[in-house]
């Protein structure tokens, strides 16, 4: 028996000879039943699928694509504790403006609030509060806001008589 890669001449109906590899010996096939070959094929395909899935996850993670994470991070709530809007929840997404004006994203019925009192900006790292030059000021945890302030869970925001809590 020669090497399995040895070439032997073959003749077809055209009469021309061409070279083809020698078929594998019977001993090679007798050691591998069809069931084992089928199982090996399935395992191989499973590993290829797992590899491609891991690559897709890595690329998605690198690009910041994650629907669940975006939903979870995008849902930031301010819970109003004052009398006039007690129990109301304000969802902060992207940029939210609060004030007395009907054009504000969230209308505060507080006479001490300015037309456009403050802006809340939601980002991956949390919410940032910006006072928009209000007359009576915006207070976070009892301190007047003079520059953008990052907010944390549990912080209290006061606009006039309206008190809100970050959740």
pLDDT tens for 124-141 read: 788 899 999 988 899 999
Q: What angle do CA 57, 59, 64 make, to 5 degrees?
A: 90
Q: What is the mean pLDDT of residues 15-42?
A: 68
Residue partners of 135: CB distance under 8 A and separation at least 6: 114
Better pLDDT: 165 or 15: 165
- Report how far apart, in Å, the C-alpha atoms of 9 and of each of 4, 15, 51, 100 are: 14, 12, 41, 93
**What architecture is the 76-166 domain classified under in CATH?**
Sandwich (2.60)
Better pLDDT: 111 or 72: 111
Give the percent of the chain with pLDDT over 90: 22
Better pLDDT: 97 or 1: 97
Question: Model confidence over 37-88: pLDDT tens digits?
Answer: 899 999 999 999 999 988 887 776 666 544 444 444 444 667 677 666 667 7
Q: What is the pLDDT of residue 140?
A: 93
Residue partners of 118: CB distance under 8 A and separation at least 6: 97, 98, 99, 129, 130, 131, 132, 134, 138, 145, 157, 159
User: 31: pLDDT confidence band, cut at 50, 70 and 90?
Assistant: low
What does pLDDT average to over the chain?
A: 77
Q: What is the pLDDT of residue 3?
A: 58
């Amino acid at each position: 028996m020669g090497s399995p890669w040895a070439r032997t001449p073959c003749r077809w109906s055209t009469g021309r000879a061409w070279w083809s590899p020698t078929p594998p010996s019977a001993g090679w096939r007798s050691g591998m039943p069809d069931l084992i070959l089928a199982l090996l094929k399935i395992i191989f395909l499973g590993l290829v699928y797992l590899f491609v899935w891991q690559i897709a996850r890595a690329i998605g993670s690198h690009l910041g694509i994650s629907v669940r994470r975006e939903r979870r991070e995008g849902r930031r709530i301010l819970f109003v504790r004052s009398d006039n809007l007690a129990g109301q929840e304000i969802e902060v997404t992207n940029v939210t403006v609060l004030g007395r004006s009907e054009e504000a994203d969230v209308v505060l019925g507080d006479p001490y609030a300015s037309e456009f009192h403050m802006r809340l900006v939601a980002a991956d790292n949390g919410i940032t509060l910006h006072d928009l030059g209000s007359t009576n000021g915006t207070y976070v945890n009892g301190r007047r806001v003079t520059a953008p302030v990052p907010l944390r869970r549990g912080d209290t925001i006061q606009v006039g008589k309206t008190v809100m809590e970050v959740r």
